[in-house]
Amino acid sequence: MVDYNLRILTQKGHIRRSPDVSRGIGLAGNKEGFPRNMIPLLGFVAAGEPLTLPSSEGLTKEDAYDQVELPTAMLSGIRLRGTTDLYALRVRGHSMIDALVDDGDLVVIQPTTSVNDGEMAVAWLREENEATLKRIYNEGSVIRLQPANVQMAPLFVSPENLEIQGRVVAVLRTIV
C-alpha cells in the first residue's frame, strides 16, 4: 500500500525516489514540491479603527510592493465566486482576533463589490477615505461592520458611504 502511494506521488511529480538509497525519497521541484501561484501584496488593511489609505481605484498588480506565494492546492480548496484575480493585504490591528485574524497576518482578498451577511470583507468608507476589515451585515438603512473582538464595538455606516473592496478567502500567518 505504501509503495503504491509513493509510486502515484512520483508519477504526479510531487516526489522523487532514489531506488539505490534506503529511504531515498525527496520532494520534487520547489521547496514544497507543489505548484505555486504568485499573488500581489498591495498594502495594509486595518483590523481595528479604520486606517486612512490611498484610494484603491485603479490599483493593479504592478502597484504591488511584494509578492505572496500560494500553493495551487490551497487555491483549489478556496470557494472562489467569479474572478480568480486575488491579492493580499497585511492586517494591522486586533479587531478580528476571534476570527483567528491577528496583527501581521496576511489576508487573501477576492475582489468583489458585494458579500453575503457575515462574510469577512475589506470595507472602504468613502467619506472618511479609510478602509477596515470586518464582517459585513446589511441591516436595511445601515450596514453593520462587526469586529470579531468582544472588546470592540461595531461600526454602523450608511450604504452610500460604504464600498466593498473584496472578501477574505484565506488567511496566512507566519509562525516565528
**Residues with a known catalytic role:** 95, 134
Contacts of residue 172, defined as CB under 8 A and 6 or more positions apart, other chains included, come to 68, 70, 88, 105, 106, 107, 108
Residues in the chain: 176
31: three-class secondary structure by DSSP: coil
Quickly count helices (H) and strands (E) in the chain: 2, 12
Report which secondary-structure segment, H or E, holds 90.
strand 87-92
d(CA 34, CA 15): 9
Contact 90, 68 (CB under 8 A): no
**Secondary structure class of 14 (helix, strand, coil):** coil
Q: How far apart are CA 106 and CA 89, in angstroms?
A: 6
Cα separation of 111 and 164, whole Å?
9
